[in-house]
A and B are shown apart, each in its own frame.
Chain A
Amino acid sequence: MAMTTNLIQARPRSTAVAGHARGGNALVRWVGKNLFNGWVSTLLTVVSVLAIGWLVAAVGPWLRNSIWSAGSLMECRSILDGASGACWGVIRDRWAQLLFGFYPSTLYWRPVTAFGLLLVALAPMLFPGLPRKILRFSALYPGLAFWLIWGGSFWFPVTIYIGLLIGISLFSRFSRKHLWLAAGIGMAGSICWWVFLSEPAFLWAESLVPTSVQAITSRQIGGFLLSVIIGVTGIVLSLPLGILLALGRRSSLPFIHATSVIFIEFIRGVPLITILFSASLLLNYFLPPGSNFDLILRVVIMVTLFASAYMAEVIRGGLAALPRGQYEAAEALGLDYWRTQRLVIMPQALKISIPGIVNSFIGLFKDTTLVVFIGLLDPVAIAAAIRAHTDWQGIYWELYIFIGAIFFLFCFGMSRYSMYLERRLKTDHR
């Protein structure tokens, strides 16, 4: 009987925690039960209180001497006259640059509207109680957002959408006969439209009804606007690719399985910064000679590839959580592979995966700060540019506190949403 030493030496006494409710103040009782419950707890309480006290003593005076209305660091210092205090004038002066980059200030309403509409477009997916009709707006949202942020003529996204409509209507016309043939015809129709007809159609529509707003170059987009654009576009575009990769990884066809696994493991094995460097240095080598894509577009392409690998893992988890009975029932009904996926499996799997997808988005949004290393103007890079200006050279804490606070607001909000959703999904499946 090889019993462990420890069990024989177990103390046979009750482990119910003491804490006699003495008569008296409820607060005192609460404090005694929660804060001074045993010597370990007392020690921890004392250490925590000391730590909090030290933090407040270090930061308090600095915050108390906050100056909001200085135009430069020199002014701040002369007002403070030797004391140490926070110089929030830099935030007052440059908050717009931190939020929008070099976007023209008269046009701020455009990205703000686009952001508001983003929340509306995402709402039906995130809050299942809302009416499904909003999804139609969600489908139109990408074109609208593109036009709002980059400007140019409104007919441009319209012609792109017309191409999609052509493809989808051709597909549904022939899909009853033969799925793959219909898909081929649909794609051919769309591509024909885009390559040959969309440009003349766009120019003709533009000449009839001009709807141009001021065009913005990608270089003017910076700050949090850039982070949100890269994050949202990356996640949204990576969803279809992630689904394909997840299905490929679960596939029984060896070649497809191998390719998916290699792709996913390669992307997950390299740091995001190397992928961003590829976007800025390497992607040009692999594109046709003479073509030159916008840097933001290249970054979005590589970020999409990066996010799709993580998305594939999240969706794979969602797929694994589905009981096998669903597949078997679909097979019994006579549905083939793609119909099973489209009608039975994917809706359920995606619903289960939404918390994971939101977590991926939080991670990606935080990682967008890495574009500072390739010369794009994310908030950290704008902070560096601000600090290089002679007005604000030497300022440090205030900028990073501001940037950190905004990141915290975004990410904390999203993680609270994700937790709420997880709780709801758990009750669904009970």
Chain B
Amino acid sequence: MATRHAMQHEPFRLGMLIHDTRYRNTTIQVLAFLLFAACAAWLIDNMLQNLAVLGKDFSFDFLWRRAGYDISQQPISYTSTSTHARAALVGLVNTLIVAAAACATATLLGVFAGVLRLSRNWIVARLMTVYVESFRNIPALLWIIVIAAVMSESMPTPAAFRGAHPSASMVLWNSVAVTNRGVYFPMPELSRSLGHLDFGLGTLSLDFLAIVGVLALSWVARSLLRRRADRALAATGRRPATGWKNALILVAPVTALLYLLGFHLQYPSISGLNFSGGLQLRSSFIALWLGLSVYTGAFIAEIVRAGILAISRGQTEAAHALGLSPARTMRLVILPQAMRIIVPPLISQFLNITKNTSLGLAVGYMDLRSTLGGITINQTGRELEGMMLMMLIYVCISLVISSAMNLYNHRTRLKER
């Protein structure tokens, strides 16, 4: 008691800043902040001086100037008279498209390979091991370039489809054309379309909204049906058959709507030097997508395998004792528990995929890095501003993805007492 009383009245000495833990934390932080501010000031000063020497200034005006170059894959409308900002937006949308597609296929491939690697079948297990090990240990850039090379070497050119005796023909009842420029699919078209809503950045199709709305309603109807069936089961012990009813509810309204809107397919056909019409998946997109999928799929296979192996054998044995078949065991007992272990590293891999899309320039895919961080800064000479903007955009995308992961972690964490 006496000491505390004495401490409270002790006069403040300068040495207390370091020795007294009450003040030391503040001292350290103030010192760290001063050091940090000094470094930042030095860096920024250097930058301003260097800019002055080169006669450049720091401004983002270049974004509003005419771009002057064309982009092959344009999910939103773009011409060479659009601004650099629009080109960057096109690049960003391209990045997100290929990232989403690659994440989906990589997950499928990874789960498939991971589960199969644990299979009892010797050949399959070894084959999957070979796949995983060979794809993991070779850089992604090499895979992307090799897949692009395979596509351009072994697929026929459009010229092979022409002439009296073409050496190549379209597959799937003459609807899909596989060439070394890309794959052409029949494009769904609506002859009695409802129109578009035009925002500044893009257009939103009213047909799309209508289809989504009808599907949503069907989904709600299906849930209601399921709930009714569950109630019937609880009441009487027998569940009414819902399979065909579910299918009908999901499929029929949408089909009717599409028929009303005049749905038909536009087939690709060769005219001049290339195919026209139809939906085109360019070979650069396919190379990047496949390359990233198989590369990341190998990592995801390992993650899935580690997750499944981490569940103790007791769970499997108990499930077998209850009479569940191996497939049901996996689906109902093992995988739900393994999800908690699998999902965080899985989301890290999704983050890696998004970042690896920047390799697109190697195969000619115009993602964000190729447009904003490539052609734009090269033609305008604005490296500093362009690179900063690009890095900021990537950081934002990554933060969104990792906060999704943190949310998942938070919701599924084991609540310890």
The answer on direct contact between A and B (beta carbons under 8 Å) is yes
Q: List residues of chain A with CB under 8 Å of any chain B CB.
A: 1-2, 5-6, 10-15, 17, 33-35, 37, 41, 44-45, 48-49, 51-52, 180, 252-256, 259, 265-266, 268-274, 277-278, 281-282, 284-289, 362, 366-367, 369-370, 372-373, 380, 396-397, 400, 403-404, 407-408, 410-412, 415
The reply to whether A281 and B136 form a contact with Cβ atoms under 8 Å apart is: no
The 8 Å CB contact of A255, one of B32, B122, B141, B369, is B32
How many angstroms from the CA of A269 to the CA of B396 in the assembled complex? 8
How many angstroms from the CA of A407 to the CA of B43 in the assembled complex? 38
Q: List residues of chain B with CB under 8 Å of any chain A CB.
A: 18, 25, 28-29, 32-33, 36, 43, 46-47, 49-51, 53, 116, 119-124, 127, 133-134, 136-142, 145-146, 149, 153, 230, 233-234, 239, 320, 322-326, 328, 332, 351, 355-359, 361-362, 369, 373, 377, 383-384, 387, 390-391, 394-395, 397-399, 402
The 8 Å CB contact of B332, one of A6, A37, A274, A411, is A6
The reply to whether A285 and B138 form a contact with Cβ atoms under 8 Å apart is: no
Residues of A within 8 A of B369 (CB): 271, 273-274
Most chain B CB neighbours (cut-off 10 Å) among A1, A35, A285: A285
The reply to whether B142 and A285 form a contact with Cβ atoms under 8 Å apart is: no
Residues of B within 8 A of A281 (CB): 377, 383-384, 387
Residues of B within 8 A of A372 (CB): 141
The reply to whether B136 and A1 form a contact with Cβ atoms under 8 Å apart is: no
How many angstroms from the CA of A269 to the CA of B323 in the assembled complex? 47
Residues of A within 8 A of B384 (CB): 281-282, 285
Question: Which residue from chain B places its CB closest to the CB of A397 in the assembled complex?
Answer: B149
Residues of A within 8 A of B36 (CB): 259
Chain A min CB distance to B35 (Å): 10
Residues of B within 8 A of A400 (CB): 142, 145-146, 149
The reply to whether B145 and A37 form a contact with Cβ atoms under 8 Å apart is: no
How many angstroms from the CA of A266 to the CA of B393 in the assembled complex? 11
How many angstroms from the CA of A285 to the CA of B122 in the assembled complex? 58
The reply to whether A41 and B46 form a contact with Cβ atoms under 8 Å apart is: no
The reply to whether A270 and B138 form a contact with Cβ atoms under 8 Å apart is: no
Given A274-B373, A366-B139, are A35 and B122 neighbors across the interface (CB < 8 Å)?
yes
The 8 Å CB contact of B325, one of A11, A37, A268, A370, is A11
Residues of B within 8 A of A271 (CB): 355-358, 369, 394
- Some 23 contacts from A to B, beta carbons below 8 A apart, are A6-B332, A10-B322, A13-B323, A15-B325, A34-B121, A34-B123, A41-B120, A41-B121, A255-B33, A259-B32, A259-B36, A265-B402, A268-B351, A281-B384, A285-B51, A286-B50, A288-B46, A369-B141, A370-B141, A396-B153, A400-B145, A407-B142, A408-B138
The reply to whether B32 and A407 form a contact with Cβ atoms under 8 Å apart is: no
Residues of A within 8 A of B127 (CB): 48, 51-52
Chain A min CB distance to B103 (Å): 16
Q: Which 7 A-B pairs have the closest CB atoms?
A: A269-B398, A411-B137, A271-B355, A269-B395, A366-B139, A271-B358, A34-B122
Question: Which residue from chain A places its CB closest to the CB of B150 in the assembled complex?
Answer: A397
Question: Which residue from chain A places its CB closest to the CB of B130 in the assembled complex?
Answer: A52
Chain B min CB distance to A381 (Å): 11
How many angstroms from the CA of A10 to the CA of B328 in the assembled complex? 9
The reply to whether B390 and A274 form a contact with Cβ atoms under 8 Å apart is: yes
The reply to whether B124 and A45 form a contact with Cβ atoms under 8 Å apart is: yes
How many angstroms from the CA of A286 to the CA of B351 in the assembled complex? 29
How many angstroms from the CA of A280 to the CA of B373 in the assembled complex? 13
The reply to whether B137 and A415 form a contact with Cβ atoms under 8 Å apart is: yes
Given A256-B32, A286-B47, are A44 and B121 neighbors across the interface (CB < 8 Å)?
yes
Given contacts A6-B332, A370-B141, A397-B149, 20 further A-B contacts (CB under 8 A): A13-B323, A35-B123, A41-B124, A256-B29, A265-B399, A265-B402, A271-B356, A271-B357, A274-B369, A274-B373, A281-B383, A285-B50, A286-B46, A289-B50, A367-B139, A373-B362, A400-B149, A404-B142, A411-B136, A411-B137
Residues of B within 8 A of A266 (CB): 391, 395
The 8 Å CB contact of B53, one of A256, A289, A397, is A289
The reply to whether A407 and B138 form a contact with Cβ atoms under 8 Å apart is: yes
Residues of B within 8 A of A37 (CB): 120-121
Residues of A within 8 A of B123 (CB): 34-35, 44-45, 48-49
Residues of A within 8 A of B230 (CB): 2, 5
Residues of A within 8 A of B25 (CB): 252-253
How many angstroms from the CA of A277 to the CA of B390 in the assembled complex? 11
The 8 Å CB contact of A35, one of B121, B140, B358, is B121
Question: Which residue from chain B places its CB closest to the CB of A269 in the assembled complex?
Answer: B398
How many angstroms from the CA of A285 to the CA of B49 in the assembled complex? 8
Residues of B within 8 A of A265 (CB): 395, 398-399, 402
Residues of B within 8 A of A404 (CB): 138, 142, 146
The reply to whether B32 and A369 form a contact with Cβ atoms under 8 Å apart is: no
The 8 Å CB contact of A269, one of B32, B145, B394, is B394
Chain A min CB distance to B401 (Å): 9
Chain A min CB distance to B306 (Å): 11
Residues of A within 8 A of B362 (CB): 373
